[in-house]
Amino acid sequence: MKVLVIGGAGYIGSHVVKALMQDGHTVTVFDNLSSGLRENLFKENSFIYGNILIQSDLEFAFEKGFDAFIHLAAFKAAGESMITPEKYSVNNITGTINIMNAALKYNCKYMVFSSSAAVFGEPKYLPIDESHPKEPENYYGFTKLKIEEIMAWYDKIKNLKFAALRYFNAAGYDVDGFPSGLEQNPANLLPVIMETACGMREKMKVFGTDYDTRDGTCIRDYVHVSDLAIAHVKALEYISTKNES
């Protein structure tokens, strides 16, 4: 398939691009490089510099003709979303609607969306499954949930088939050593630990000593970024083969 990866120069996006290539797909990356890096781009792929808030940028990309697109271009800092919700409204919600409208205009009918476990909020039970209540605790999670609801309506009305991957805490790097570009201003725990350990940060803060665990500290779940990248490819293959969301 011909696949447009929006946010494909970023940490997760570049690993998704590699997984798509290894599976035989033809990939074009669309990115504004606000957090993505040119060194994460593969020479085998076309690259379009563009912004999801500029409709003409998106139409310039989609008019080249794609079977599917993968959307990884949202802002993702949960804490920041509670301080500047307007920033997250415009980029995450409006930006995604812009992408979907451009895709439909040029008859691109398959979409894989980078959603988040943040749509669930505080766990009512563990492990969380897909039927768990969706009660986001931050505005970031709210934007992801609203996008999922919008996609469901676009599927119903416009036949845009989608997969929403509600993942959490990606970690690690590709075992072959590429891509390897460091995230810009990461807010996730593992890159913050590593930046502190190698002196890029003076210190890091750890919050919470009263969790219901053996020593009171927090336990987090992680998924390796390469496994996550493969999941995007599998999701795309499912919705395109079954023609269902």
CB 59 within 8 A of CB 105: yes
**Residue 189: in which H helix or E strand, if any?**
helix 189-197
Q: Using an 8 Å Cβ cutoff, are 226 and 144 in contact?
A: no
Closest CA to 14 of 45, 50, 58, 57: 45
Q: Which two tokens stand for residue 218?
A: 């927090």
Active site residue 140: yes
110, 140, 211, 238: the active-site residue: 140
- In order of 109, 149, 174, 191, the CA distances from 170 in angstroms are 27, 24, 12, 10
Catalytic residues: 140
